[in-house]
Amino acid sequence: MRQGAHWYTFVAVLQSWTLYQPRRRKRQLILILGFCCGLSACAYRPMPEILAHRQSDWGWLPPPIEEPLVEPEKESAPVASPPIASLETHRFRIAKDEGVLGSLGVIELQRGDVLPDIARHFGLGYDEIAAANPELDPWLPDSNSRALIPAQFVLPRAPRRGLVINLAAMRLFYFPAKGNGTEVVTYPIGIGREGRATPTGAMRIVRKARNPTWYPTKNIRNEHLRRGDPLPAAVPPGPDNPLGKYALYLSRQMYLVHGTNKPYSVGLRASNGCIRLYPEDVSKLYPQIPLNEPVYIVNQPYLIGQRGGVVYLQAYRVPEELNEKSLTKTLRADLKKWEQDQSQPLDWDKIERILKESRGIPLPISAGTSPVDVVIATAQPIVRPAKWFGQPEPAPKGAGSWYVFATETASETTALRLAAMLNHQGPPIPARTVQKGERYQVIAGPFADAKAAKAAVRRLKADLELEGRILPPEAIRQQSHPPKSAANP
């Protein structure tokens, strides 16, 4: 079993960080992972009124609500979506006897592109796009290369009603009641990290909240305190609230489906067990979900579906809490039984390759269908948008003259990668690289004043154990080279 396999892609992004740093930096790698994934967010201490909803044992269907709940007032218009083509909507019509949605796309990359921006634009999570493009550095892909857009999905084995969440795929499927199981909307999610896995089972929505207050648990507050970042007993709405602007409370106490102030943690195992959505996705989902809506959470890394009489297999990396050997054995037995029952042969060489690579791409496995490389090579070309939705904006001119020294490395690539990652955190830390002799510094800023710069230093220390130091305006003027943008080196 591949222990912690879901971290491998993100660790690879940071591997050069450890190669060029002394041994004491090893611990910082773990802290950087936590920072970049939003380690602190999500789990909450229930409010008193929520405690009244006591847990009961579930069958396949959720139990009825024990007391009436009041539907919140009608929401304002949701956040605008990016300009989208049909491939980007992730809203599908599907026949009841079929289970494969969407199609594969491909897009040409340009200088300054990063895969997390592309993933967010097309409604994908970090792990989805990184696994589909293992040859690309997610934060510094080669310009003029091509990125596969895996906007194709196999539905998990679960009722086609309400919210269906597949943890292994890190994806949510919503079946509106009016669609009667033939209409589905799908969004990427972030889920509980290793050791704090999101629970599975049949649940329901018991409460909704716009601009929710976060009540961190005692364990989370103690964790923050150890990192030098004390939390209050209640975090009010605002940019520092990890729940974002919308929250759906599950009947399983302590767990929510919510937005996030760290959008680039979507597609990672980063939370304390809750389920995160991009801000633009949760704003569209929230008004559609009624109270008592059923929620089915499953953990299925191997998915089989049919479309047009062709059988597809979609394989994700097996989460650490599951037994890969047992799952693979069961899958092979199910496929052999299908062959016998349907009298239709399958391509077993292709099946074994799909399981070995586990790229999360649905591929046809019926005998006689196109080889894997041909299917990927013929993905639908996508016209490049003028701007990626949600892409961080560079600091405007006149934003300030105060900077913070974050770290120094012998590798320009390492510095540019770290700067790009800092630019994509939430709340973002604007960062650039500065060449100093034969070494490269990562400089955060600009900040409006010394107070804002000090806050950035505290954040670097609490989240990354980096000993940042303030660079006042006169120090920057003495630099031999001006700051260089991570997005435009």
- Rounded to an integer, what distance in angstroms lies between the CA atom of residue 350 and that of residue 333? 16
Q: Which run of H or of E encompasses 249? A: strand 246-250
CA atoms within 13 A on the CB side of 196: 21
E strand intervals along 69-161: 91-93, 100-102, 105-108, 146-149, 152-154
Q: Which amino acid is at 272?
A: N
From the candidates 6, 274, 424, 481, which is the catalytic residue?
A: 274
- Rounded to an integer, what distance in angstroms lies between the CA atom of residue 365 and that of residue 128? 21
Q: In this structure, what token pair is assigned to residue 156? A: 């998990």
From the candidates 6, 90, 121, 258, which is the catalytic residue?
A: 258
Instruction: For helices 26-36 and 450-464, give the axis angle rounded to 10 degrees.
Output: 110
Residue 274 annotated among the catalytic residues of the structure: yes
E strand intervals along 87-160: 91-93, 100-102, 105-108, 146-149, 152-154
- Rounded to an integer, what distance in angstroms lies between the CA atom of residue 334 and that of residue 327? 11
Of 222, 223, 201, residue with least CA distance to 59: 201
Q: How many Cβ atoms sit within 10 Å of the Cβ of residue 405?
A: 20
For residues 113 and 146, the answer to whether their CB atoms sit within 8 Å is no
Residue 53 annotated among the catalytic residues of the structure: no
Handedness of CA 65, 66, 68, 73 (dihedral sign): negative
- Rounded to an integer, what distance in angstroms lies between the CA atom of residue 188 and that of residue 173? 9
Angle (CA) 151 261 21, round 5°: 85
| Active site residues per annotation | 258, 274
